[in-house]
Each structure stands twice: as C-alpha cells, then as structure tokens.
Amino acid sequence: MASLGNPKNTIEIIQKYEFMFQKKFGQNFLIDTHVLEKIISSAGVSKDDCVLEIGPGIGTMTQYLAENARQVVAVEIDKNLIPILGETLAAYDNVTVINEDILKVDIKEIAEKYNDGRPIKVVANLPYYITTPIIMGLFESGVPIDNITVMVQKEVADRMQEGPGSKDYGALSLAVQYYAEPEIVAIVPPNCFIPRPNVGSAVIRLTRHKEMPVKVNDVEHMFRIIRASFNQRRKTLQNGLNNSPEIPYTKEKILAAIEQMGLPATVRGEALSLEQFAQLSDILGEK
C-alpha cells in the first residue's frame, strides 16, 4: 500500500470511499512525512513496543507505527473509516483495529492482552474538544503507560507545560504535570493536514513520572480543590473554594488553611504550585 504521508494517496483513498469528514469527530488527517517521523522518534517506538493509537483516521500514522512497533492497537470511533483501514493496513499483520469510543474502552485489558501488562506507548492525533478527557482518562485509569505522544491544538500543548502565574496555567497544567513530564517536540502548521484546521497544532510528549513529584494524602481531594480554584479565574482562591459545591469546608476553615500556608487571604489559585495545592489539600483534609 502506498504511504498515506503523501497527500496524493490520501486524497485518492478519501475519494475512492467517498469519505465525508465529520465535524463532530474533529477529523484532520496528517499529510506530512516529517511530522510522522518526528512522532515515531519522539515516542521512542521500537520493535519491543505495543502502541495504542487513538483515532487512526485512514491509517496514515498507523502504517508508520506498524513498521516500527511490535504490535499496534488502533481505536477508531468512526465506523465509516473501518473499511478504509481494512485496505490501508492490509499489508500489516501486527495491527488490530477496534471500532470503539476510546473513553469506553478498557485500556488495562488491551495492555494485558497485547503486552502482558507491561507499559504501553500511546500515540494520537486528538481533536481539541476531547483532548483533556482522553489524557486524564489514560492517567487516572492506572494503566501502565510509558509515554503519551499526542498531536493537539498548540494552545493546549502550551497550557500543559505552563507554571504558576501565567494566564494559561490551570487545572490541565497541574494534572498533566502531576502524572508526567510534558515536552513539546514539534510545532505543526495547518497546511500539514487535510482538511486544514483553523489553528496551529503541536506534538507534545508526556513521559510518565516513575515517582509522583508530590506526596499528597488524597489525590482526588487535591484535584477537586484544583478544579474549584480555577473554575472562576477572577475570584480569589478563598472565594473559588467557598463557591464550589465540590468543596465542603466553611469559609473560615478555608481561610485558616490559606493562612497556615503563609499565603495572603487575597491569593488566587493560579499563584499556587502543585506542591502548594498538595499541602492545601492535606491541611483541609485533616480539619
């Protein structure tokens, strides 16, 4: 099968199957071989690896992955793409295509079945509206993951890397950095896709921490506090927590905890580091 990294081959197969791009699935197919090679090398895909690919589309990256990995499991939600993948991946006996919604798939089961429970690598070209739930779902599932290398909207990639005090810093930055080390490995302009998206994209690699960067008594509790702190960005930390139905503490308790940390009563959530959120979570949890 001809490489789909070549735009001509991509257009031919889309026309052959009269494939219609679906807005609801945020479909943009990559047509740049340099970017494909960059993703494979950044993820460190080798013949020992089992790779989970989310949203293979017509199989452009899947072909590259199949050439480089031992096993590829590709999860595609759009049933109209399944016959196309049947053709574009016909030459590879190390690819399994699953027609499912990734948010409903048991990824642990995939790791067990195809990789004896060893850490898998995840590669994806993600539509921006579903980036956060997919990435958080992967981390929170407790599935053994080595790294996640994903194509996302550039501003989402920037957000994942941000530290305290920046306007892009938020719950996503903290969640990603709690689980992994984020690094942007490529900036990808719109002309690398069919159809062209309206925004620039970036490839970001999230390397799973061997040990968590902070110790916290209750991770879920910490993330409830983090979400509440950023839900109303203009508000102080104290008011953000006090206004949240997820946070059961009185205003006095919240203020006492903030003061115990040596922070001013007027501090905003975006000023706190991951360590400080862990500390705040532990203090409130004890009260």
What residue ranges do the domains of the chain occupy? 7-208, 219-286
Give the model's pLDDT for residue 213.
Answer: 95
The share of the chain scoring above pLDDT 90, in percent, equals 77
Q: What is the pLDDT of residue 157?
A: 95
Length of the chain: 287
Reply yes or no on whether the pLDDT at 128 is more than 80: no
Give alpha helix (H) positions in the chain: 7-16, 33-43, 60-68, 82-88, 107-115, 131-140, 154-161, 171-179, 219-231, 237-243, 251-260, 274-286
Residue with tokens 């862990």: 278
Residue 77 to residue 98: CA distance in whole angstroms: 8
Q: How far is CA 284 from the centre of its chain?
A: 29
- The count of C-alpha atoms lying within 13 angstroms of the C-alpha of 40, restricted to the half-sphere facing its C-beta, is 19
Is the per-residue pLDDT at 170 higher than 60?
Answer: yes
Q: 7-208, what's its fold?
A: Rossmann fold (3.40.50)
Q: How confident is the model at residue 287 (pLDDT cuts 50, 70, 90)?
A: low
Region 264-284: mean pLDDT is 97
- When pLDDT is cut at 50, 70 and 90, the band that residue 7 belongs to is confident
Mean pLDDT of 215-223: 96
Is residue 6 predicted with pLDDT exceeding 90?
no
Give the tens place of pLDDT for each residue, 35-73: 999 999 999 999 999 999 999 999 999 999 999 999 999
**Residue 217 three-state SS:** coil
* Contact status, residue 201 vs residue 230, Cβ threshold 8 Å: no
pLDDT at 189 over 70: yes
pTM for this one?
A: 0.90
Binned at pLDDT 50, 70 and 90, residue 1 comes out as: low
pLDDT for position 4: 78
pLDDT band at 206 (very low <50, low <70, confident <90, very high): very high
Q: What is the pLDDT of residue 207?
A: 97
CATH of 219-286, one of 1.10.8.100, 1.10.1370.40, 1.10.10.10, 3.30.750.24: 1.10.8.100
pLDDT value, residue 83: 95
For 24, residues 6+ apart whose C-beta sits below 8 A from its C-beta are: none
Backbone angles phi, psi at 210, to 5 degrees: -70, -40
**pLDDT of 222-268, one tens digit each?**
999 999 999 887 899 999 999 999 999 999 999 999 999 999 999 99
pLDDT of residue 3: 81
What is the separation of C-alpha 43 from the centre of its chain, rounded to a whole number of angstroms? 14
Higher pLDDT, 37 or 14: 37
